[in-house]
Structure formats: structure tokens, C-alpha cells
Structure 1
Amino acid sequence: MSDVTRESMEYDVVIVGGGPAGLSAAIRLKQLDADLQVVLLEKGSEIGAHILSGAVLDPCGLDALIPDWKEKGAPLNTPVKEDNFYMLGEAGQIRIPNWPMPKLMNNHGNYIVSMGNVCRWMAEQAEELGVEIFPGMACSELVYGENGEVRGVVAGEFGKEADGSQGPGYEPGMELLGKYVFLSEGVRGSLAKEVMAKYDLSEGKDPQKFGIGMKEIWEIDPAKHKEGTVTHTMGWPLGGNAGGGSFIYHLENNQVYVGFVVHLNYENPYLFPYMEFQRFKHHPMVAELLEGGKRVAYGARAISEGGYQSMPKMVAPGVALLGCSVGMVNVPRIKGNHNAMLSGKAAAEAAVDAIKAGRSADELTSYETEVRSGPIGKDLKQVRNVKPMWSKWGMTASLAFGGLDMWTNELFGLSLFGTLSHGKSDAEATGKAARFEPIDYPKPDGKLSFDRLTNVAFSFTNHEESQPSHLQLKDPIEPVVYNLRNYAGPAQRYCPAGVYEFVEKDGEQQFVINFQNCVHCKTCDIKDPSQNIQWTVPQGGDGPNYPNM
């Protein structure tokens, strides 16, 4: 912690992050006790500005939280009408029939949504209940109590110079203190990462696994638009280089979400996830859909994929981890928003019970019990082996055995395989460059495919350039002397925003960080082979400004 003197404000519950988990917690707290003082802090310029998700939403979380969400105007406007699965080859595709798939893979009853807009609507519901919501307030530090418990956060620090010193307009921010602090920062949040390390919350758990998800919004020819159609693909262009696949969702107004996910446990350091996405759009099936249309937005975000066996302990004294801070994505369903909402609801209920009993700053063990034994745990447990099967045995085997495992879990509540382990972390999975050949990617054509910097402009990202870089190196020479020599400098490829590059100056290679481009995906913090890059928060309001993601 810094030695800056700050004012403080006391609340009952302090919530960090305005995503579906944090907003659900805020709403539920005020539903249960209107007199509770609840504050929610969001680092984006507005609620929804940093929200990026597919998204096909299972409404079970909203059903539990706000049963009359339809009457209240929730922006769930596009019910799924058609569900398609394809295996792609370079020149064609094979339709995978729906009938052999477990019921959990059926998307009927779900909705194609902008989760950014859903969160904006949820924020309105929270504010009507009396929740104080402050966007543009990055939480840069945790505040600890005398006994090592989490007491609050530091939010709203502005005006540092590039070297970290205090500039002429420096504002120290405030300490917002609570009986409990909820961390709902999304995937790989910096405060959640600190809490997990301080209290050793991942002890005995599998390492968390991740994917990088990239997404574009396209306006297409109305004649090609089929509102309510959901399409998922596997196979080309990734092949055996990496696990992953795509999604294409037809929402309203002749728009489609086009997305691509690459599992970050790939070995080949020459793999370029962003260029795999751009190449995917040239597949005949996809190109035919997009030709004549225009891309209107772009973004990228890491996805937690470890599931059931990778969930850390979720509580420590004074603090609880919610949603993707824990990792609650059902990988085969490509859905986690419903579980994020349910986690926020469960954390709120545990906190209200504790506060009514006169407790504070202890461990909300009933929250963790509900997550592991309730609907979230059941949702994740039945699919727990799909991801490790894919990683260990490949796509084809995982389809067969993973499908069998999901069926036996669905019908009999048991697995023939027990609980498989994920093994290495995604950083450790990266192989040495000497074992691989560079991959030749086609140059983007500017019509279907685009270079990174052009696309980043469509994320509407902005950072105040005079501030310190929020992308910090533990060792400044490590990228050149270790990663470049051994792994061909993978940061210049795994980043979907062109933040990192190696440039030659005076005959020597230098590692350059263009932090202004950062879309806050956290891939660097996850995939860097030497774990030398630390993602921290920039000043509040900076980063992407997603309009409809």
C-alpha cells in the first residue's frame, strides 16, 4: 500500500466491477435490505463500456434475480430460433446434427444479447433500489485491516506522471471501506489475483485455464440475415495448432456477432490468434455471409475455461470473489453470464445473513457452499472433463468422449472418467520456438479481414498517455533475453490489440509496450511464458468503450 493520505467512506458492502456478477450482488443486497449502504465501482467510462461477451444468455440467472425482467424491459429481444453446429475444412463444412447432443447444449429458450446493454439495464435496476454506482473509478489497491482482513479498496486515483510521480493535477482517490468487499472484476482481475496469492486460495486446485475471445459486430445484407440463428464451428483454420472455435449470432437490426475463441494452452509460440480469427472469415461459408456488409465494432477478452476443478477458494476474511473472478464458464455451452448472476445473488444473501447476525470481515463460507453445491456447481460439474479431454486427446476424441461424459452426467449424475486434471498452466504450455516453424498468415484484405491497429480503432479504446503504463514488467530485460531468444517473442502475436512489439535500436532489440492500444483482455498476464507481465488497472475511465458488445 502507498503512504498517501486519503479520505475514507464507510459502506456495508463495497463491490468492485459492474459486470453481471457485481450488479446482481448489488441488486440482491438492496432487495433483501433496503437500508444497506451499497456502492459499486466500475473502471470503465460507463457501465457496459468494458463488457464483452458472445453472447447467448441463459435467462435462469435473471429469472432468479428479477423474475419480472420482461415486464421491466430487460434488453433480451432476440430469442434463439435455430441452432447450428459445423465442422469446418478449408473449403467446406459438415453439419453436426443436434440430436446426439446432451440437452444442456440446446439453446432454445435462450436469447442473443449484448451483455453490455444487459448490464446497463441492470445498473438502472440497481440505482432504482438505491445502489450508489460510480463508473470511471478504477480500484488500484486493496485496504487491509489490523488482522489482515480485506477492509476496502482505493478508488479514483488520478494524475500520476509516466514515471509514477504525482503530477500537478494529482488526486489521491478515496478509501471505500465495507463490512465485506466483493471482487467481480471479470477474468484475471488484478485485485482478485492479489487476494488469491495472499490467502493461497488456489492451493490444491487445478490451474485456471483460459481462452482468448475476439469479436466483431457486422451489419450484413438483410437478405442474408436470419434473426435468432446461432451457429458454432470447430476445425479450420486452427486444425491441430490449438483448440477453439467460432460463433456467429444473428441479432436484431441486420447485425451479426462474429467471434472466434482460441484456447491459450497452445504450444506453438508462432501461433497468432488474431490472424486465425481474420483467416476464419475467409472460409466460404463465412465470407458469403459477410460479403457486402461492414464491420462496426471490435473487441477482445480472455475467457476462464478451467471450470469446476479450477475454481479457487472463493472467500477470505472480508472478501468474496464473484463470477469470472472465480471462473464459472460452462465451456461446451460457451456460457457463463447466468452463473455470474447466480454467484452475485448467492454472495449477497450470505452477506446479508452475516450483517444481520452482527458479523463483518469474516469468511462468507455459506456463499462458497452455495456455489459449489447449488446450481452453479451442478452446471459446471457435469461438463468438467470436456476441456481437459480436448487438451489431452484432441478435438475429435473430446467430441466423442466428452459427449458421452456429459450424457452420463445428465442421465445418471456420474462420470465414467472421474475428474480429469488440466495439468500445466497456459503459460507453461508454451513450447520453445526451436520445435516449431513460423506460420505464414495471409495479409488482411481490408474487406473481410483487417490489421490489428485498424480493428482496435473500432473498440474505441483510449488511454491518457501521460500516466504510467498499466502493463508492468517484473524484469525489464526478460522479454528480450529470455522470451525473444527462446519463444520468438510471443507477446507480439498473442496480444489481440498490437500492444507489444520488438524494435531494433542501435543494433539491439528492444521491447516496446504501446499500452494506449490495450483493450484490457488480460491475455499477456496469462500467456507470457515467464509470467513477467503484470496487468494492473489504468486510471479510471480509460480503456475500450464498447457500444453494443
Structure 2
Amino acid sequence: MQRESMEVDVVIVGAGPAGLATACRLQQLAQAAERELSVVVLEKGSEVGAHILSGAVIQTRALDELFHDWKDRNAPLDSPVTADEVYFLRDAHKSTKMPNALVPKPMHNDGNYIVSLGKVVRWLGEQAEALGVEVYPGFPASEVLFHDDGSIKGVATGAMGIGADGKPKEAFEPGMELHARCTVFAEGSRGHLGKQLNARFGLDRDADPQHYGIGLKELWEVEPAVHKPGLVIHGAGWPLAESGSSGGWFLYHMEDNQVSLGLIIDLNFKNPHLSVFDELQRFKTHPEIRRHLEGGRRIGYGARAITKGGFNALPRMDMPGALLIGCDAGTLNFSKIKGTHTAMKSGMVAAETLFDLLADVPEGVINPTSYADRLKESWLYDDLYRSR
């Protein structure tokens, strides 16, 4: 059965902060110039935000630029940071609180917000659709399509209606091809298409080896008596120190009596028998952590890969007919323990680059080689350079 195809100007893979910021900025520029652009966002989750775990501290710099009136638009940033603490867990019972004067400046969170990132991207999705972006949740991109000259033609969505035996069922649908003048890959850390493109085009050939971690996160509903809205805590030490593993942890008091906590473990740990899940459970028994959870109940959990190599591990992000952005490229600023503002800015720079190229090159595939220079001229480059 032949796949149907759809022709668009730009297709974006992934409805996270980077992908949606790209889509919004493209349509903002198009409307300001009174031009028409067809922009499609593919999202593998059943809805926008379905694959994004709650609980993050974000810097609003990129959001301020994208929507200066985000407060009037009721963006879900309702918990400004009110207190900032850093602890070192010395063992299973003892801890040391670092004096604020000794906490590295990038870790200070004055003016930042604790958010449900899932709510934020759902809001961004609404803004994108209001601007004329077509957002297709439940349609994962499964394959990169190429022109005969090797440039990227677009992507194909996954087939549906395949049985457990791998054979098509009666309700089989072969998926759809989306052909674009430029395809933007914003899948998040270790996106499966991004990895294929890296191998095909040698994007990381001139970069340092990438560094990965895994973050395990839980969302708790706690008693009002122990809830401290706006409290941000980061730390390191036990239990990872016992096995010689590196990483850290966080605990955020969000709105609605909710607490988000997590343990981040670098994937270079030496003990092959180390259970990351069990380390998280041990972590919660420490008195410094347990006091925030007493009487509460876990209401959500999950895990995700983290690309944390930083500035020196950034790959080339442009290919003939495509760009790689956000955590798919590794734009996380790990010294700040933040990646939302950098992912969004990488997408906004991508949008500005593509918008100009789409105007300058009236037809055919866009080769966005100018993206690297545009990125260097932005505050994102300086943000990552300072954290190297």
C-alpha cells in the first residue's frame, strides 16, 4: 500500500520547548511580513506534553522574547522561586547545607520559576495553533526521507495496525510522508532520528565525546503543613558517592501541594550491578529528603536521558534540508541545571534562519548553513560558552 504525501514549507519533529518555539517564531515572522508559511509539528505523544515529566525550574529569557506578554496570555508559570538551597548528603543520615555565598552563581535561581513543563508545552502548543501551526499529536516520525542527492526530503510517520507477529492487520495504515523544504529535528535527548542523522552526516566529528546521564523523577502530593511553595533544593553526595558514581539530585516545591524530586546519575558508573531505581528509593529515605515527603503520596514518575556534554560536545547542527536543535543537539546548560530556555532559543534562532532562507530561495531544498553563525551571534552561544 502506497503512502500518501503532504508538501509543507517546514516540518518539525517533536512538540517540546525547542520544536514549539521554532513553530511559533516562524509564524510570528510570517504574519509580521504578511507571508504565508505552512508549518507542521509532529508529536509522538497522544497529546502535546504527554511525554514530558512535570517539575522544572526555568529561566524566562527565551519566553520573554517569544511572547513578551506571556503573563497576560496566562502562561502556566505560577510558582516563582522563593528560596534556594544546596545540600551535600554526607551519608545515609547526615547532611551539610552550603552557605549561599559558596553556591556557584549559575545555580542561583533569583527570578526563575518552578513549573510543570508538561503544562508549559501544552500552553506553547495552544499558542502555536493560534498562530496557524498545524500540530499533529499521536504521529511519531519513524523514518527520514532523502532526495537522490542525499539532502533531506522530510519524514514519514509510523505505520499503524501492525499485529504482534509483525504483519499488517485489517486496519493497517502505512503512515504518511511529509515533504518539506526544511525539516527541524527537536526530539529531545538521544532522539532516534537524530542519532541516525549524526551517523550519516558525521555531525559530531569535530566535537568532544558527548556525555549522558539518566534522570529519574517522581511527583508527590504532600501535606499542606510540609509544603513550601517556591522552594528549590539541589544537592549531591549520598547515595551515589557510596558506589563512586557521579551525579546529583533536586527537589522542587511546586504549586497545589506538589513536590517534584529526582536523582541524576551519569552513565559512566563502574558498577554494572548498580540499580538506578533502587538508588532513587534509598535517596528518599534520607532525613533531609524524607521530611519533605512525610504523609504524602507519589502521583507520578518517569525517567529520561540527559545530554550533558555542554558547549565542547555540541555537534554541527545543519544538514542539507534539515536542522538539529534543542536537547537533540545537546544545548542543555548543565552548570545552571537548566535546558528549557536554551532549547527554546535554539529553536527561535532556527526559525529566524529558516524564515530568511525561505524568502531568499523561492523553491527547492533549504541548506541552512548560516544557522551556525546566527547561533554564535545569539545569547545562547555565550550562555553555553560560559558554562563549558
Instruction: Specify if TM > 0.5.
Output: yes
Letter matched to residue 324 of structure 1: C
Task: State the Cα distance separating 1:110 from its structure 2 match.
Answer: 0.3
Residue range with higher mean Cα deviation, 181-190 or 88-97: 88-97
Task: State the Cα distance separating 1:232 from its structure 2 match.
Answer: 0.7
Aligned to 1:377: 381
Matched, 1:47 2:48: yes
State the SS of the aligned residue for 1:275. helix
Task: State the Cα distance separating 1:334 from its structure 2 match.
Answer: 1.1
Aligned to 1:75: 76
Of 350, 368, 372 in structure 2, the residue corresponding to residue 368 of structure 1 is 372
State the SS of the aligned residue for 1:41. strand
Quote the Cα distance in structure 1 between the aligned partners of 2:372 and 2:206.
16
Query: What TM-score do the two structures reach when normalised by structure 1?
Result: 0.68
Aligned to 1:463: none
Quote the Cα distance in structure 2 between the aligned partners of 1:74 and 1:54.
15
Aligned to 2:109: 107
State the SS of the aligned residue for 2:373. helix
Aligned to 2:224: 222
Where do residues 58-207 of structure 1 align in structure 2 (5 Å cutoff)? 58-89=59-90, 90-207=92-209
Aligned to 2:10: 13
Letter matched to residue 12 of structure 1: D
Matched, 1:340 2:343: yes
Of 279, 283, 308 in structure 2, the residue corresponding to residue 280 of structure 1 is 283
Task: State the Cα distance separating 1:54 from its structure 2 match.
Answer: 4.1
C-alpha distance after superposition, 1:307-345 (max 9, x if no partner): 111111001000100100100111121100000000110
Quote the Cα distance in structure 1 between the aligned partners of 2:215 and 2:275.
13
Letter matched to residue 165 of structure 1: K
Query: What TM-score do the two structures reach when normalised by structure 2?
Result: 0.96
Aligned to 1:415: none
State the SS of the aligned residue for 1:24. helix
Task: State the Cα distance separating 1:266 from its structure 2 match.
Answer: 1.1
Which consecutive aligned stretches of 4+ in structure 1 deviate over 3 angstroms post-superposition? Answer: none
State the SS of the aligned residue for 1:36. coil
Letter matched to residue 193 of structure 1: K
Quote the Cα distance in structure 1 between the aligned partners of 2:335 and 2:278.
23
Task: Give the fraction of aligned pairs with identical amino acids, expressed as a percent.
Answer: 49
Where do residues 428-447 of structure 1 align in structure 2 (5 Å cutoff)? none
Task: State the Cα distance separating 1:100 from its structure 2 match.
Answer: 2.8
Letter matched to residue 199 of structure 1: F
Where do residues 261-280 of structure 1 align in structure 2 (5 Å cutoff)? 261-280=264-283
Unaligned runs of 5+ in 1: 385-549
Aligned to 2:246: 243
Quote the Cα distance in structure 2 between the aligned partners of 1:192 and 1:52.
21
Quote the Cα distance in structure 2 between the aligned partners of 1:187 and 1:162.
28
C-alpha distance after superposition, 1:488-531 (max 9, x if no partner): xxxxxxxxxxxxxxxxxxxxxxxxxxxxxxxxxxxxxxxxxxxx
- Asked if structure 2 preserves the Cα contact closer than 8 Å seen for 1:210 and 1:302, the reply is yes
Of 6, 26, 31 in structure 2, the residue corresponding to residue 29 of structure 1 is 26
Task: State the Cα distance separating 1:51 from its structure 2 match.
Answer: 1.0
Letter matched to residue 51 of structure 1: I
Quote the Cα distance in structure 1 between the aligned partners of 2:65 and 2:111.
15
Task: State the Cα distance separating 1:190 from its structure 2 match.
Answer: 0.9
Quote the Cα distance in structure 2 between the aligned partners of 1:319 and 1:250.
39
Structure showing the higher strand proportion among its residues:
2
Quote the Cα distance in structure 1 between the aligned partners of 2:50 and 2:164.
25
- Alignment RMSD (CA, Å): 1.3
Quote the Cα distance in structure 2 between the aligned partners of 1:100 and 1:259.
23
C-alpha distance after superposition, 1:354-386 (max 9, x if no partner): 0100254243122222324422221112221xx
Rate the CA distance shift 1:280–1:102 in 2: closer, same or farther, 3 A: closer
Quote the Cα distance in structure 1 between the aligned partners of 2:158 and 2:70.
33
Letter matched to residue 248 of structure 1: L
Task: State the Cα distance separating 1:223 from its structure 2 match.
Answer: 1.0
Residue range with higher mean Cα deviation, 218-227 or 74-83: 218-227
C-alpha distance after superposition, 1:120-140 (max 9, x if no partner): 000000000110000000111
- Asked if structure 2 preserves the Cα contact closer than 8 Å seen for 1:316 and 1:362, the reply is no
State the SS of the aligned residue for 2:100. coil
Quote the Cα distance in structure 2 between the aligned partners of 1:237 and 1:277.
8
State the SS of the aligned residue for 1:153. strand
C-alpha distance after superposition, 1:370-427 (max 9, x if no partner): 324422221112221xxxxxxxxxxxxxxxxxxxxxxxxxxxxxxxxxxxxxxxxxxx
Letter matched to residue 85 of structure 1: V
Quote the Cα distance in structure 2 between the aligned partners of 1:370 and 1:102.
29
State the SS of the aligned residue for 1:99. helix
Quote the Cα distance in structure 2 between the aligned partners of 1:163 and 1:249.
44
Aligned to 1:501: none
Letter matched to residue 161 of structure 1: G
- Asked if structure 1 preserves the Cα contact closer than 8 Å seen for 2:143 and 2:193, the reply is yes
